[in-house]
A and B are shown apart, each in its own frame.
Chain A
């Protein structure tokens, strides 16, 4: 393999037919280039969607009251199920391995007015419990998030985001200033970083107040819009079990058929993530399939050219055999040339593809659909391994043809 003579001959052979080598190599170059682009795009899609889940506990379930669709113990269907504060504690005790739980109440159906001085804005005010931060992470820039003391003492405190700060406070420091929420004063205790997109869809950031204060101040009558909880067993089976436990608990408390799928709106994140995962695995498999397909087209090209090379060099190979070249030497020569050609062209495609994807990653801003389209190093190494195999495959048939040359016939060949 590290035979100087053999390498010299490979360079000579390629050097004599530069144009042909370049055109042949281009097919392989393009094949691997496309493979990298496709895989990068796949990674970008996957990263984009995973990014949406970055702040959400993936081992969580969110429940919301809905409308029953089945008769149950003499009760008619189409009853509205409204979740209550008391359900939160019931769930906390009913679900094994529960980690965190928080109810959420949307003040005025999420359409409240905030005012500071002369500045006003329409915001989505959410009464939540302190554990909410474990379920839907908010990165605090200044101050703090709603805490247990706020909850217990029904403190009128509020956590706002950057866009809200700009609208209401302009250049001012918002901490410990009082804003009016639908006419009721709340003290700003924290500022969090809000990124549009993902689970918190919408142009405006939500604003958080303690659930207890929301109940009292805005007369929520103990109702909550939804309840989210996380649990220890993040497997699909574990999530299903937790979901069933929650549904049964609520069914008992609200008198509905636990098999009634319309009574509650359930969002099981473990299932969501699992489903997205299998979708992306499917997309990835498809991209590999297409990429390998275009690579094969390149390999066939190299194989074809090597057949021509062998045909052209029939006489020369015959002379070599007459001078004592063994079939193994001849096969090695052709095989190495094919591997070298595919290897170099493929390597160029690999490098260019990776650079292009890195370039795109650094220029194109990440969105919720597409983000950081770079392939991992192990994928690149797999592609490289595929190339070497490809080169060997490309050289195999021509090399066999070369080995079969009989010197006597080759010497007669003009």
Chain B
């Protein structure tokens, strides 16, 4: 489903060129549930953005479902995102003045689905994440866990092939984190979606099938066994703070 060949990416900050990704080779098959771990600044979010066609890369090749993602116009990228990818963000990124139903229906709007049809689909998806009763509530009337479930419903409503989650539990407490992870696992298992989760939490990574470990812009281990990770790190819970805040 996702094939990366020698992906390189650098950011220019003033006169300096900061090499973030230094040649990433990676393959993720359809239907996999994979997590990407790594310390802050290891390039894991950049990698996820490139996979999500939110960011471009300098060199290498990225094939999504056999299609080379390179040099598309903004409009083409938007259509590809709309068709292939569903996003789940750390800070939910729901639109504040739209209720849950409208938020979930938004990707369908951009696909040109008629209003009645998209509300139907959005409501069905909300029911699936257990928030049918909350359809007409605004995001600020919901808890963090509920908001993230709405966001997951939004990511799924357009029936994408890949779901990308950037620190989906970063802003949640342990119990809701577990709920969200259970939901993402279910998305992978029951709906057959390829799910890619960027995280720095071992518990989260442990719930996936495979862990890709990034360090300083290169993949240190592409096939880390999450079970080993889980037992090895048992009881060494780190905070739930976002990755950016973690300092050695």
B95 nearest CB neighbor, chain A only: A316
Q: Is B81 an interface residue (CB 8 A)?
A: yes
Residues A324 and B107 in contact in the complex (CB < 8 Å), given A16-B97, A319-B95, A411-B89: yes
Task: Decide yes or no whether B109 CB sits under 8 A from chain A.
Answer: yes
Please tell me if B245 contacts chain A, counting CB pairs below 8 Å. no
B221 contacts the other chain (Cβ, under 8 Å)? Answer: no
Say yes or no: B78 contacts A319, CB within 8 Å: no
A327, A406, A408, most chain B CB atoms within 10 A: A408
**A-side contacts of B82, CB under 8 Å:** 323-324
Are A324 and B158 touching (Cβ within 8 A)? yes
Q: Does B234 contact A (CB under 8 A)?
A: no
How far, in Å, is B45 (CB) from chain A's closest CB? 9
Tell me whether A12 and B97 are in contact in the complex, defined as CB-CB below 8 angstroms, given that A323-B154, A327-B74, A408-B49 are known contacts.
yes
Q: How far is the CB of A224 from chain B (nearest CB, A)?
A: 84
| Interface members, chain A 302-330 (any B CB < 8 Å) | 315-316, 319-329
Contact at B55–A319, with CB atoms within 8 Å? Answer: no
Is A407 interfacial (CB 8 A cutoff)? yes
Closest chain A CB from B97 CB (angstroms)? 6
A329 to B111: give the CA distance in the assembly, Å.
Answer: 11
CA distance A408 to B93 in the complex (A): 12
A4 on interface, CB distance cutoff 8 Å: yes
Q: Is B246 at the interface (CB under 8 A from chain A)? A: no
Contacts of A324 in B (CB 8 A): 78-79, 81-83, 107, 110-111, 158
Give A370-410 interface residues, CB cut-off 8 Å to B.
Answer: 403, 406-408
Asked whether any CB of chain A lies closer than 8 Å to the CB of B152, the reply is no
Among B55, B74, B75, B79, the one with the most A-chain Cβ atoms within 10 Å of its Cβ is B74
- Which residues, 32 to 60 on B, are CB-close (under 8 Å) to A? 49, 52, 54-55
Binding site secondary structure of chain B: helix
CB pair A329–B89 under 8 Å, yes or no, is no
Q: Is B206 an interface residue (CB 8 A)?
A: no
| CB pair A327 B78 closer than 8 Å | yes
> Quick one: CB contact mask for B87-115 with A, threshold 8 Å, 1 for yes?
10100010101000000001101110001
Asked if residues A411 and B93 are in contact (CB atoms below 8 Å), the reply is yes
Counting chain B CB atoms within 10 Å of each CB, the highest count among A321, A322, A408, A411 belongs to A322
User: Which residue from chain A places its CB closest to the CB of B50 in the assembled complex?
Assistant: A408
Residues on the A chain within 8 Å of B74, using CB:
326-327, 403
- Say yes or no: A323-B107 contact (C-beta < 8 A), given A407-B54, A408-B55, A411-B89: yes
B75–A327 CB distance below 8 A: yes
A323 in contact with B87 given A12-B97, A16-B97, A408-B55 (CB within 8 Å)? yes
Tell which of A316, A323, A328 has the most Cβ of chain B within 10 Å: A323
Does the CB pair B54–A322 fall under 8 Å?
yes
Cβ A320 vs Cβ B110 within 8 A: yes
Interface residues of A in 218-270 (CB under 8 A from B): none
Closest chain-B Cβ to A31's Cβ sits at a distance in Å of 30
Q: Is the CB of A322 within 8 A of B110?
A: no
Contact A319 B93 (CB under 8 A): yes
- Closest residue of chain B to A324 (Cβ to Cβ) is B82
Q: How many Å lie between the Cα of A325 and that of B74 in the bound state?
A: 10
- Compute how far the CA of A327 lies from the CA of B109 in the bound complex, rounded to whole angstroms: 14
Contacts of B109 in A (CB 8 A): 5
Whether A322 contacts B115 in the complex (CB less than 8 A), given A327-B78, A329-B110, comes out as no
Residue among A4, A16, A327 with the highest chain B CB neighbour number at 10 A? A327
- In chain A, what residue has the closest Cβ to B52? A322
Given the complex of chains A and B, what is the CA–CA distance between A4 and B87 in angstroms? 26
User: When the two chains form their complex, are residues B78 and A326 in contact, meaning their CB atoms are under 8 A apart?
Assistant: yes
Bound Cα distance A324, B110 (Å): 6
Q: Are B87 and A322 in contact (CB under 8 A)?
A: yes
Q: A329–B110 Cα gap in the complex (Å)?
A: 8
CB-defined contacts of A406 to chain B, threshold 8 Å: 54-55
Q: Looking across the interface, which residue of chain B has its beta carbon closest to that of A404?
A: B74
Query: B95 to nearest A CB, angstroms?
Result: 6
Q: Which of B54, B75, B78, B97 is packed against the most chain A CB atoms within 10 Å?
A: B78
B residues less than 8 Å from A5 (CB atoms): 109, 115
Nearest A residue to B75, CB-CB: A326
CB-nearest residue of chain A to B76: A326
Q: Please give the distance in Å from B148's CB to the nearest CB on chain A.
A: 14
Q: How far is the CA of A411 from the CA of B45 in the complex (A)?
A: 12
Known contacts A12-B97, A16-B97, A408-B49, A325 near B78 by CB under 8 Å = yes
**Residue numbers in B under 8 Å from A321 (CB-CB):** 78, 81
Q: Are A328 and B97 in contact (CB under 8 A)?
A: no
- Chain B contacts of A323 at CB under 8 A? 81-82, 87, 106-107, 110, 154
Of residues 92 to 148 in A, which have CB atoms within 8 Å of B's CB atoms? none
Q: Which residues of B contact A (CB under 8 A)?
A: 49, 52, 54-55, 74-75, 78-79, 81-83, 87, 89, 93, 95, 97, 106-107, 109-111, 115, 154, 158
**5 closest Cβ pairs, A-B complex:** A324-B82, A324-B110, A326-B78, A408-B54, A323-B107
- Listed by A's residue number, 5 A-B pairs whose Cβ atoms lie within 8 Å are A5-B115, A324-B81, A326-B79, A406-B55, A408-B49
Known: A5-B115, A322-B81, A323-B82. 13 other contacts (CB 8 A): A5-B109, A319-B95, A322-B93, A323-B81, A323-B106, A324-B107, A324-B158, A325-B78, A325-B110, A326-B74, A326-B79, A329-B110, A408-B55
